[in-house]
Amino acid sequence: PYPLYAELRETPVARQADGSYVVSTYREIAELLHNPHLSSDVRNLSRPMEAVQGRTTPSFINLDPPEHDRLRRMAMRHFGPPHTPGLVTGMEDDLTAVVNGLIDGFAGKEQIDIVDDFAYPFPVTVICHLLGVPREDEPRFHLWVDAIVNSIDYNPETDPKEKLENGVQAREDLRQYLAGLLEQRHGKPGEDLLSRLANDDGPDGRMTDEEILATANLLLIAGHETTVNLITNGMLTLLRQPQMLQRLRSEPGLVVPLVEELLRYEPPVHIIPWRAAYTDITVADTVIPKGSKIMLMLASGSRDPNRFHDPDVFDPDRRDNEHLGFGSGIHLCFGGPLARLETQIALTALVQRLEEPTLVTDPPPYRPSPVLRGPIHLHIEQNKN
Ligand code: HEM
């Protein structure tokens, strides 16, 4: 039930010793996410984000309007519902094939790690297909993404210095690879995202190569560990509630509200750590002074009893479920339709194909990250009869 969040919610807008503000209640978080005086631009923010992203062109998650809106619109045109029938629309069969291929790989294993054997490779494969990375290059692509994700997450299993160096090298290699791929796509219209971005003119014109590379990189990073964690948190929640797992098996349509409830109850992104106040902002009778850094505790907002009935109960039948799992406002997760589809297909296939799965360790080991929440491994066993 996250008792720390309940404690934080007693002071909806709390000033920290370092002068930053922590906002933990639903109404205030939602209000701030829609406030045009909050900036996401890394150039206005404090060190840690700059250290990660400072030397490259910021991607639109870290930009404010009007730059943000222009780049987001240009990428969104190709991405699909609810805006246009785009890349995600036709992906269902492709995603099902990837998922089934991964589950086929479980054969003969005594224990399966839902993270390493399934949830981790899945989103990268999907992004490769989306971007148009040729199949033969996928293994290299996976290695770079592993190194990059490892360098920015809080995996306690890897040496911090080594992972940082690996991350820098992998970023460079990935960038060069994508730049090469993009070069080949100029003048060759095609269905994949890189071809579309390189060749299609929309009302906002065309992205520069720099902008395309920053966008491709953003889709990879923003869509990877988040999706891994949603799938893994989903399996964990189902394995802890076997009657729910059975229900999903016999009632496949339940997966849609179930994934929505997961985004509220066990969201992969707990905190938006990066907003800055452009002006003095008053919220819940507190004045946040101009220039302050603001942390938005999304997961706490989604468990706020003033907003959700019985917030600590996992209830896929709940009607009123406007959770904060994908944020809200102009930066509302761009990959929501894809992440939902991936997770729906993944959970459906896992509950259909695993035979009486049980958890080996409960609770599983977690990444010690305050921002991204999910197990680092989730070992399960199947009925051996
Ligand atoms: C933004 C969560 C999957 C691409 C966001 C934000 C959240 C979020 C909370 C808002 C950040 C902010 O306001 O600063 C998630 C979760 C996911 C997921 C929980 C999986 C379950 C994906 C996927 C993609 C993606 C699969 C792409 C393929 C993006 C992008 C943004 C974003 C590009 C920035 C949007 C903007 O700045 O306008 N995501 N995300 N996400 N997400 Fe996701």
Position 56 confidence tier, pLDDT thresholds 50, 70, 90: low
DSSP 255-306: HHHHHHHHHHHS-SB--EEEEEESS-EEETTEEE-TT-EEEE-HHHHTT-TT
> Mean pLDDT throughout 165-190?
92
Whose CA is closest to atom 5 on ligand 1? 333
Centre of ligand 1 from the C-alpha of residue 318, in Å: 24
Question: Which mutation among 67, 229, 334 tests ligand 1's pocket best, with the greatest number of atoms within 8 A of CB?
Answer: 334
Question: What letters, b where the CB count within 10 A reaches 16 and e where it falls short, cover 13-24?
Answer: bbeeeeebbbbb
Residue predicted with more confidence, 161 or 117: 117
What Cα–Cα distance (Å) separates residue 32 from each residue in 38, 82, 343?
A: 7, 25, 28
Question: What pLDDT score does 121 carry?
Answer: 92
Report d(CA 135, CA 141) in Å as an integer.
10
Report d(CA 155, CA 143) in Å as an integer.
16
Question: What pLDDT score does 48 carry?
Answer: 45
Question: Which mutation among 212, 326, 345 tests ligand 1's pocket best, with the greatest number of atoms within 8 A of CB?
Answer: 326
Contacts of 141-145 with C-beta under 8 Å, sequence gap 24+, read 141/174, 141/177, 143/170, 144/170, 144/171, 144/173, 144/174, 144/177, 145/170, 145/174, 145/220, 145/224
Whose CA is closest to atom 22 on ligand 1? 223
Question: What pLDDT score does 142 carry?
Answer: 84
Superfamily of segment(s) 3-56+63-381: Cytochrome P450 (1.10.630.10)
- The CA-based diameter of the chain, rounded to the nearest angstrom, is 65
Centre of ligand 1 from the C-alpha of residue 360, in Å: 31
What Cα–Cα distance (Å) separates residue 310 from each residue in 14, 40, 313, 317?
A: 25, 32, 6, 12
Atom of ligand 1 nearest to the CA of 269: 19
Question: What pLDDT score does 80 carry?
Answer: 61
Least confident of 34-38, 158-162, 304-308, 363-367: 158-162
Report the percentage of the chain scoring pLDDT > 90. 69
Q: Where are the alpha helices (DSSP H) in 10-120?
A: 26-33, 47-53, 67-79, 92-104
Question: What pLDDT score does 164 carry?
Answer: 78
Question: Which mutation among 272, 333, 341 tests ligand 1's pocket best, with the greatest number of atoms within 8 A of CB?
Answer: 333
Contacts of 318 (CB under 8 A, 6+ apart): 257, 261, 308, 309
Orientation angle between helical segments 336-353 and 255-265, nearest 10 degrees: 110
- pLDDT, averaged across the chain: 90
Question: Which mutation among 226, 263, 275, 293 tests ligand 1's pocket best, with the greatest number of atoms within 8 A of CB?
Answer: 226
Question: What pLDDT score does 54 carry?
Answer: 45
Position 165 confidence tier, pLDDT thresholds 50, 70, 90: confident
Is residue 133 classed exposed, middle or buried when 0-12, 13-18 and 19+ CB atoms within 10 A define those classes?
buried
Position 151 confidence tier, pLDDT thresholds 50, 70, 90: confident
Centre of ligand 1 from the C-alpha of residue 270, in Å: 12
CB 259 within 8 A of CB 340: yes
Residue 66: asked if its preceding bond is cis (omega within 30°), the reply is: yes
Q: What is the dihedral sign for C-alpha 176, 178, 180, 186?
A: negative
Atom of ligand 1 nearest to the CA of 72: 38
Is residue 255 classed exposed, middle or buried when 0-12, 13-18 and 19+ CB atoms within 10 A define those classes?
buried
Position 156 confidence tier, pLDDT thresholds 50, 70, 90: low
Q: Pocket residues for ligand 1 (CB within 6 Å)?
A: 40, 60-61, 72, 218-219, 222-223, 226-227, 230, 267-269, 272, 325-327, 331, 333-335, 338-339
Residue predicted with more confidence, 298 or 225: 298
Domain residue ranges in the chain: 3-56+63-381
Whose CA is closest to atom 1 on ligand 1? 333
CB 381 within 8 A of CB 360: yes
Question: What pLDDT score does 51 carry?
Answer: 45
